[in-house]
Amino acid sequence: MAVKDLNEATKAYEAVGLMRGARMPLPAIGATAQEIRAGSNGTILLMSPNEPAGVTARFLSDRGESAMGVSIEVQNLAKTQSVLKTGLQRDLAVYSGPYGKSLVVPGELAAGAWIEFFEKDK
């Protein structure tokens, strides 16, 4: 979720009974994120821009506070990368994300929603 004020948004989620997790930098999209635990396996990442011209700031400017994308755990990131390369006709770089090796399909290639695929560190 892209939010303007990370502290205020965190308080709002806590007010409805959800627990905060770790706070982390997300340099790939120019943001700082706050984990919010949702159920036994779910996590909501509240993301607030820390770079005025970064991806998250542009998303907020264009779409306002809303769901920016999803992160999907995969068993084999190399295979996922190969399938995406064939389908999108472009190579997506692997980077070290907050949950392990990751790659992202940027919003302009996915109807505005960012789709991150990650393989947990073993």
Residue 98: predicted pLDDT: 85
Are 60 and 5 part of one and the same domain? yes
How is residue 1 written in tokens? 């979720």
**CATH code for the domain of 101:** 3.30.720.110
Residues 38 and 13 in one domain: yes
Task: Please indicate, yes or no, whether residues 13 and 45 belong to a single structural domain of this protein.
Answer: yes
Same-domain check for residues 57 and 45? yes
- Lookup: tokens for 10: 């965190």
Specify whether 24 is located in the same domain as 5.
Answer: yes
Please give the Cα distance from 119 to 122 (Å, whole number).
Answer: 9
> How far is Cα 105 from Cα 116, in angstroms, rounded to an integer?
6
Q: Is the pLDDT of residue 13 over 70?
A: yes
Does the pTM exceed 0.75? yes
Whole-number pLDDT of residue 42? 87
For residue 88, what are the domain limits?
69-122
Concatenating the DSSP letter of every residue in the chain gives -B-S-HHHHHHHHHHTTPEEEEEEEEGGGTEEEEEEEETTTEEEEEEEESSTTSHHHHHHHHH-SB--EEEEE-S-HHHHHHHHHHHHTSPPPPEEETTEEEEEE-GGGTTT-EEEEEEE--
What confidence tens digit (pLDDT) does each residue in 53-111 have?
Answer: 999 999 999 999 999 999 999 999 999 999 999 999 999 999 988 889 999 999 889 98
CA dihedral 84, 89, 94, 99 (to 10 degrees): -30
Per-residue model confidence (pLDDT) at position 79: 97
pLDDT band at 19 (very low <50, low <70, confident <90, very high): very high
Q: Provide the number of structural domains found in the chain.
A: 2
If asked whether residues 48 and 28 sit together in one domain, one would say: yes
